[in-house]
Structure 1
Amino acid sequence: MSTVRVNGVTLGIESFGRDDAPLVLLVGGTTMLSWPDALCEHLAAGGRRAVRYDLRDSGESTTTDPEAPAYTLRDLAADAAALAGALGGGPAHLAGIGVGGMVAQVAALDHPGAFSALTLIGTRAVAPGPPDDDLPDHDRTVMRRLFARPMPDWANREAVAEFAADGAEILGDDPVAARAIAARVWDRTPGTAPPIQMANQMGTVFSRLDCAPRWREHLPGLKVPTLVVHGRRNRFFPVGNGEAIAREIPGARLLVLEGAATAIPRAAVREVTETMLTVG
């Protein structure tokens, strides 16, 4: 792992594969550990340089005040373009998962010359908040269960890991994997202050961003090969959101993972990776 200074901020990155291989840039959602190690390794084995990175206010990236971010969604999109340029090798295949998928969509629209392909996993085409009328919203029962839980002691690594495992079980993800990832995220978080831990573990900073103006209406103008991946069991961003993105981006390919929810399960890593390699 290392850091790169771009666009006036420091971004934490981890690189897999040869430095001179075609670049696949993986936008964290919000930390880089949203991307499974095995997926990064498979991309490298497939002849790519996979670089996953932390969004601002997470991991090794610049952390200021997650409760009042002084940047916008479009600043995060500009970070992606600047990072792709700093890493070199020509236009990059840009991939985003969850909220990172929102960053990736805007980055591809705002900086078309920086990217040669796009992968969007478990995301949607509108900002946090109420969706458009034709898009399915978060499952209400799931959301009630998620937010009815008391917050953990953020200074207690095991309590935070257990909180993440419990949330994964509610969402339909693997609680064992979620517990292990949460512990790794905790180890990389700069301090135990609740706002910083919550930003790293739950991506709470994203809901406070200025995400205007809308970008969904511009998706038909995207001219790069695009893969949309969505879990059939995703109750946070139901699969209709991925289906809508695939309809609106010309020529986009939709891959629905029948047994997946919000995270990429280990059993689906090879299928997702091999499909990504066919896109760009």
Structure 2
Amino acid sequence: MAERVIEADGIRLCTESFGDPSDPPVLLVMGTGASMLWWEEGFCRMLAEGGRFVIRYDHRDTGRSVTYEPGRPAYTGADLVGDAARVLQAYGSPAAHVVGVSAGGALAQLLALDYAGRVLSLVLISTSSAVPGDRVLPPPTEEFTRFVSAAQVDWSDADSVIDHQVAYARVLAGGRRPFDETAARGLVRRDVERAHDFTAARNHDSLPEGELSQAPLSSIAVPTLVIHGTADPVFPLRHGEALAEQIPGGRLLALADAGHGVERADWATIVAAILGHTAA
């Protein structure tokens, strides 16, 4: 494990790698508003022990990467897609297996469309189509919508932010499994304390798209595995099913009673699926 700050095109991004650089590379792309800590170290180590060189990184405005004034991000969603390519370039990897969760799954899709030569395969977790289509997909659950609309948090107070983020994590978990509040609170606290400015992550909520690809998902030509929880409150399961249908050869792995994200209870299943999917 080695943390490394890279500089590319004037952008500073904090990264961390696990495993042997001679092994097949796996780039982990977290959802927007979340640092690389949400790809938990234990999960990364399991992948590395399976013979993969694992790279995770902080998005801009999260963790120890470049941070902008809250409310004034000087970048777009397209720039976040480009950052994934910048990380691979800094590590000397012409291409990698790319694993994205939530909005990170959308970034991974766009990376495969705009930087096709950089992507060997895709694993898309708890996400939906990054390209607008004509399919009618179900909205978030009522519980999720109520939480988002009623949330009250003092972003100037770390304890208030931590309480809010833990409550948010509980809702994301979907409610069908026991929720480990102690583990969630520890992870959130580390994330808040590690960030240059934890309020800057809110910049991701209002980013302009920038020059994103308008190519159809049917033009993605790499092996794609979609992993989706049956209790996902943000993107109900139909989103994952539709995504696997849109990408040629896409396969779906449904996780019974799993919510939104990479839950510890599913680590063994998800790691085994990623290792199998990237074995070729």
Pairwise TM-score range, normalised by the shorter structure: 0.7 to 0.9
Task: Tell me which residue corresponds to 1:165.
Answer: 166
Task: Tell me which residue corresponds to 2:29.
Answer: 27
Give the alignment partner of residue 234 of structure 1, picking from 212, 224, 232.
232
Task: Tell me which residue corresponds to 2:186.
Answer: 180
Task: Tell me which residue corresponds to 1:273.
Answer: 271
TM (norm. structure 1) is 0.88
State the Cα distance separating 1:211 from its structure 2 match: 2.1
The one-letter code sitting in structure 2 at the alignment partner of 1:10 is R
What is the 5 A alignment of 1:46-65?
A: 46-65=50-69
The secondary structure found in structure 1 opposite 2:216 is helix
Q: 2:222 aligned with 1:244, yes or no?
A: no
Judged with a 3 Å threshold, the aligned counterparts in structure 2 of structure 1 residues 215 and 124 are, in CA distance, closer, same or farther, namely farther
The one-letter code sitting in structure 1 at the alignment partner of 2:162 is A
Q: Take 2:135 and 2:220, find their aligned partners in 1: how far apart are those partners?
A: 23
What is the 5 A alignment of 1:120-139?
A: 120-126=124-130, 134-139=136-141
What is the 5 A alignment of 1:30-109?
A: 30-109=34-113
Asked if the contact 1:172–1:261 (Cα under 8 Å) also holds between the matched residues in 2, the reply is yes
Q: Take 2:265 and 2:191, find their aligned partners in 1: how far apart are those partners?
A: 22
Number of residue pairs aligned between Structure 1 and Structure 2? 269
Bigger mean CA offset, 225-234 vs 131-140 = 131-140
Deviations 1:191-234 (A, max 9, x none): 36xx32xx1xxxx3233122266757611001111111111111
Give the % identical residues: 36
Judged with a 3 Å threshold, the aligned counterparts in structure 2 of structure 1 residues 226 and 14 are, in CA distance, closer, same or farther, namely same
The secondary structure found in structure 1 opposite 2:153 is coil
The secondary structure found in structure 2 opposite 1:50 is strand
Judged with a 3 Å threshold, the aligned counterparts in structure 2 of structure 1 residues 153 and 64 are, in CA distance, closer, same or farther, namely closer
Asked if the contact 1:121–1:228 (Cα under 8 Å) also holds between the matched residues in 2, the reply is yes
State the Cα distance separating 1:59 from its structure 2 match: 0.7
Q: Take 2:118 and 2:155, find their aligned partners in 1: how far apart are those partners?
A: 41
Deviations 1:156-187 (A, max 9, x none): 3x443322222222333633332121111011
Asked if the contact 1:96–1:102 (Cα under 8 Å) also holds between the matched residues in 2, the reply is yes
TM (norm. structure 2) is 0.88
Bigger mean CA offset, 220-229 vs 86-95 = 86-95
Gaps of 5+ in 1: none
Gaps of 5+ in 2: none
Asked if the contact 1:125–1:215 (Cα under 8 Å) also holds between the matched residues in 2, the reply is no
The root-mean-square deviation of aligned C-alpha atoms, in Å, is 2.2
Bigger mean CA offset, 220-229 vs 1-10 = 1-10
State the Cα distance separating 1:12 from its structure 2 match: 1.0
Q: Take 1:8 and 1:108, find their aligned partners in 2: how far apart are those partners?
A: 24
Q: Take 2:134 and 2:142, find their aligned partners in 1: how far apart are those partners?
A: 16
State the Cα distance separating 1:133 from its structure 2 match: 5.5
